Amino acid sequence: MDEPLANKTGSTEPALSRGRAPTQRRSIERVERILACATELIADRGSDQMKMSEVAEMAGISIGSLYQYFPDKSAIIHALAERIGANSRACIEAALLTVRDMESLRDAFSSLVDQYYAIFLSEPVMRDIWSATQADKRLQDIELAESRVCGTLLADILVRLRPTADAAELATSAFLVWQLGEATMRLAISLGRDEGDAVVAAYKRMALRELSGA
């Protein structure tokens, strides 16, 4: 989870939004190059200033070829957001595999929050994409879907660790914890570093109390 976004290519055949899905190696490599170039441009100037013509030029392809895979800039942002979500989910799944009791859950959750915060601080692309969720319904849907998936993963563990608790309430709490985590990260990076650190620390305390049933 703490590797650079440029290395997080996800699956070898990414799902594109309203574009042609690559099936041959050459097409897959072209899509990877397009997304890598878009990532670099977003990191340099932000998604609002990124132009499709610039992506095509940097990737060494015609604008027509670019539109075959990504019909508009929003489709590129959408694909990058999906990859961020998929990689984050993979890290969460790996971390939760180590959970055997409430103490190890607290350790795993705390570590995941710290890693996620570090990525938000260090990767302009991730900050830019998730700050755009308020203006793009599709990105909101991606975030919501990821929170539901991660919430289910967490809820399954909570049911095992807290067998006497109401399963439906645990599922709701787990979903809310992940959704609020996204909001916390966006708030934290909009503040000064000291205040942002304090906000993340407060979120961790509140989330851990809720998860442990304290």
pLDDT of residue 133: 64
Same structural domain, 173 and 92: yes
Q: Could you tell me the CA-to-CA distances from 106 to 72, 111, 161 in Å, in that order?
A: 42, 8, 12
Q: Report the C-alpha gap between 38 and 1 in whole angstroms.
A: 20
Tokens of 189: 């990076």
pLDDT of residue 88: 81
User: What is the residue type of 176?
Assistant: L
Contact between residue 191 and residue 199 where contact means Cβ atoms under 8 Å apart: yes
Q: Specify whether the backbone of 8 is left (phi greater than 0), alpha (psi in -120 to 50) or beta.
A: beta
Tokens of 32: 């990877």
Question: Domain end: 35, 52, 74, which one?
Answer: 74
Same structural domain, 163 and 192: yes
Q: Report the C-alpha gap between 51 and 59 in whole angstroms.
A: 12
pLDDT of residue 146: 82
pLDDT of residue 132: 65
For the chain, the distance separating the N- and C-terminal CA atoms, rounded to the nearest angstrom, is 29
Question: Domain end: 74, 98, 126, which one?
Answer: 74
pLDDT of residue 3: 34
Per-residue pLDDT of the chain (214 residues; tens, 9 = 90+): 333 333 333 333 344 444 455 557 888 889 999 999 999 998 888 888 889 999 999 999 999 999 999 998 888 988 888 888 788 888 888 888 889 999 999 999 999 999 889 888 887 777 777 766 667 777 778 778 888 888 999 999 999 999 999 999 999 999 999 889 888 988 898 889 999 999 999 999 999 999 998 6
pLDDT of residue 173: 94
- Nearest alpha-carbon partner for 181 in 80, 88, 95: 88
pLDDT of residue 7: 36
pLDDT of residue 111: 92
Domain enclosing residue 189, as ranges: 79-212
**Is the torsion defined by CA of 38, 39, 40, 44 positive or negative?**
positive
Same structural domain, 15 and 101: no
Q: Domain holding 35: CATH number?
A: 1.10.10.60
Cα Rg of the chain (Å, integer):
19
Question: Domain end: 74, 94, 117, which one?
Answer: 74
Q: Report the C-alpha gap between 102 and 139 in whole angstroms.
A: 33
pLDDT of residue 46: 82
